[in-house]
């Protein structure tokens, strides 16, 4: 596999990510009937971000889908890869599909020109998020995992089960709509009914949003309080920056986590419902 050509401003190897291959003649239609986004949009140099849901419409896993000759490459949280492979295999039935674990290194690149690797595509969520890069082995990095995490936290981008709760999170709580992780036109997929109902009936009560603290923040899982009332919970934390799942009806309150005052930062891409 080719190495990167030219300098990259920031390139981080992400050892907590792994790759799953879905190959076979039916690979696109097979995945399209299961995941939240339109797999038909995947092409060389063009990735799609998608999620696999429970039949009840709750989050199970999310991943980037990149195209290789004859296969789709799923860039997924390493701790979710085996579960995802098992779930997909159960739905294979008579489809001409093969599912395999690949030993590829996953990277994120940002604040720089496009990487010239064999498998690279822009992060489909936001232009500022940069690029997803796959290689046979870790490439020479100019940044670390923590640098990437801080970058994505400040953009408000979730990272698997660090920010999303299996069997609980609804995609619209985590910005999948605004970030292009849902196709509303491609047809049925598992969990579509709840996802559509949440959108059209305005049922959203929580959102995953960036917050910053006046001091280093406590660990993930710490409750966010509005006075003595629970208003949410911290998820990913890096220093004074974090993502938090917050009740929409508490966004105007004074919020704290373990006594640390919090400031909620609403990214430009987030579309909150109009106050009632």
Residues 228 and 125 in one domain: no
Same domain flag for 190 and 125 = no
Segment 12-56, tens digit of pLDDT? 999 999 999 999 999 999 999 999 999 999 999 999 999 999 999
Range of the domain at 55: 11-144
Phi, psi dihedrals of residue 199, rounded to the nearest 5°: -70, -50
CA 88 – CA 184 distance, rounded (Å) = 22
In a domain, 166, yes or no: no
For 174-229, how does the pLDDT look when each residue is reduced to its tens digit (9 = 90+)?
Answer: 999 999 999 999 889 998 888 888 887 777 899 999 999 999 999 999 999 999 99
Q: Above 90 in pLDDT, residue 118?
A: no
Q: Is residue 149 part of a domain?
A: no
Residue tagged 């999170």 (tokens): 169
Please tell me the pTM assigned to this model: 0.93
pLDDT for position 1: 39
For residue 262, give both structure tokens: 């919090």
In Å, what is the CA distance from 142 to each residue of 47, 148, 218?
Answer: 23, 11, 28
Output the six-digit token pair for 171: 């995609």
Q: How many CA atoms lie within 13 A of 114 on its CB side?
A: 11
Q: What is the mean pLDDT of residues 120-125?
A: 95
Does residue 53 fall inside a structural domain? Answer: yes
Are residue 138 and residue 185 in the same domain, yes or no?
A: no
> How many structural domains are present in the chain?
2
Residue 77 lies in a domain: yes
* 275 within domain boundaries: no
């Amino acid at each position: 596999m080719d190495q990167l050509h030219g300098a990259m401003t920031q390139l981080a190897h992400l050892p907590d990510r792994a790759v799953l291959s879905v190959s076979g003649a039916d690979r696109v239609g097979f995945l399209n009937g299961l995941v939240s986004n339109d797999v038909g949009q995947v092409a060389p140099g063009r990735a799609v971000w998608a999620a696999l849901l429970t039949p009840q419409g709750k989050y199970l896993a999310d991943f980037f889908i990149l195209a290789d000759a004859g296969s789709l490459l799923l860039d997924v949280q390493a701790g979710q890869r085996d579960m995802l492979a098992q779930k997909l295999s159960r739905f294979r039935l008579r489809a001409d599909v093969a599912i395999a674990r690949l030993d590829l290194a996953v990277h994120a690149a940002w604040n720089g020109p496009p990487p010239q690797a064999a498998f690279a595509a822009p992060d489909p969520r936001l232009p500022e998020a940069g690029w997803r890069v796959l290689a046979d082995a870790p490439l020479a990095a100019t940044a670390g995992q923590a640098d990437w995490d801080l970058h994505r936290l400040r953009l408000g981008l979730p990272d698997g089960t660090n920010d999303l709760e299996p069997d609980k999170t609804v995609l619209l709580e985590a910005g999948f709509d605004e970030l292009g992780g849902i196709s509303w036109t491609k047809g049925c997929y598992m969990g579509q009914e709840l996802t559509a109902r949440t959108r059209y009936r305005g049922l959203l009560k929580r959102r995953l949003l960036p917050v910053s603290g006046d001091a280093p923040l406590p660990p993930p899982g710490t409750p966010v309080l509005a006075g003595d009332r629970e208003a949410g919970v911290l998820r990913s934390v890096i220093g004074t920056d974090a993502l938090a799942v917050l009740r929409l009806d508490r966004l105007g309150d004074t919020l704290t986590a373990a006594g640390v005052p919090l400031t909620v930062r609403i990214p430009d891409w987030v579309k909150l419902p109009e106050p009632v």
